[in-house]
Structure 1
């Protein structure tokens, strides 16, 4: 059960652009001096609320999945954490350490339990517009890569995520706020479209969304409705 819980973390934390820490408000496209974000879904009702707490520099200090676990991060003078502790709801602790280089061309997160290596996450920043992400839950390895580019005509950001294990490609487009507005899934071998989705947002006065609704294209009934309650330092 615990391994499943930590896989949830992998899916929630965003993959950054080149040289940008994944543990910042900026990596989540948040604007203003955000203090906390509480994210929940009103539909379907089985979503586990998540809480992000940031310092005044926009660095993620803690992340909590309600009733499951809390992750507490420690930093030096940069936006990159030096270590973290994962505390489950029953008090079990896991230690996390981090590796990078002077230019942050890669970023590795290593998790140990009682000194034994259990999980790894690695981000390889190939270029300013391409990131390779590797997740290892020993002995299982999951590799995906994300590439970004802007269309010449609209300056719309597009990303491509390749999921090698499931033989799928996901193509996202984003609005000027950096929020995804469409997503299409394709089979990597046949390039057949497996699904097409769109996203509609409501925003607060800082320009951060406080409600996101996901639909299948050409339908009006939502798949997911996600709410965010955001507080600010200023």
Structure 2
């Protein structure tokens, strides 16, 4: 059983059927799933993307906005989502701290790894926002970085699918779910659930990446307790 985990949620997942913005029902659901981990004595860090508001690559696609500015816009979007997750968690009684990679003291603490670890030891959820603080890096990379820094036992990539498949299961009914996949194979095949930089960083730090369906209630706790049938593991 893992004692300390980092859970990565996509920004798009917060949008629900609308495709943009924040669906408060999904926000409440995510908060409940995280609370179940805290109640089980697990230390939890969270990274959330910003794709429900703006994605840097998309914003810069037509050349009007530079990639650097687009990525900073995306980082700010993750802060908005981070504030929302913090509020949802504290609404149900889970003490939470928001730490940002970009200094904005009126909104959250500056990221300091020793402080983050101390919060986790005290049973607080720590939400890491603002990506890595640098353009040209995704929130997947930010999640792997923060997970490595806090000494997480695993990184859980909470998605809309229940794992990694040998081909797109939406297009091919005969797609086969891969229970485990090596870092090298994941890099070779450029699996779409995580970007290559994040996977390479996880490999260097021997950090397992668990890919699971966030919309199956109770999945996160079952996986942390060792049920690998509900996910795929990159290791």
Q: Same fold (TM over 0.5)?
A: no
Q: TM-score, normalised on structure 1?
A: 0.30
Q: TM-score, normalised on structure 2?
A: 0.30
Of Structure 1 and Structure 2, the greater strand share is in 1
